[in-house]
Amino acid sequence: ESSVRFSEGGHGSFAILPVLIYLAGYFLFGAGYIAYMTFMIAYVRDSGGGAAAQAAFWGLIGLSAFVTPWAWRGVLALDRGGLATAIILGTNALGAALPMLGHSPAWLAVSAVVFGVAFFAVVGSTTAFVRFNYPPEAWPTAIAAMTISFGLGQTLGPIAVGAITDALGSLSYALNVSAALLALGAVAALCQRKVA
């Protein structure tokens, strides 16, 4: 039987230091993606989009997420440290940054599609990273550490980005900051080497 044991004695060793930069990148992903999801709909509304446009925006994110497994299959197979996550997270950042270049409905739709096709894949690339770099008995501990990092980012992101937006008085800052957080996360992931 090849099932992974989750008992107390079954946890492999997991040290935070060798993956600290990856954890930072995953934290930034949590903060950046949720900031985009939180503030983008208000941005669509403020750009003149009514209920139908807002629903279409969410729908495009959801529909594009369906192609995630096929779009990223080759990238998810890369066993080269944080490279796969960096590529996908960079695409995510690009999707979040696109509204800076224009406010037309078509441009916002492109943002939704590019963002949507990438954001679920970051979780998949993190799971792949753990599987490539740790023995099965360490997977629960490693995934738990990743999830905690992501959860902290997801919690703190909207608070920090909301405060920045309130202070500067424009929703565009929320999108700029969310795209910057995602881009920084991609850079952090790029710095992650394989765990020895």
- The domain ranges of the chain are 18-191
pLDDT in tens, 108-127: 999 999 999 999 999 999 99
pLDDT in tens, 47-98: 888 999 999 999 999 999 999 999 999 999 999 999 999 999 999 999 999 9
Q: Name residue, tokens 């037309």.
A: 104
Q: Considering the domain 18-191 in this protein, what is its CATH number?
A: 1.20.1250.20
Q: Report the candidate in 125, 186, 182, 117 with the shortest Cα–Cα distance to residue 154.
A: 182
Find out whether 13 and 145 touch, Cβ atoms under 8 Å: no
Torsion of CA 190, 102, 153, 20, to 10 degrees: 10
Model pTM? 0.91
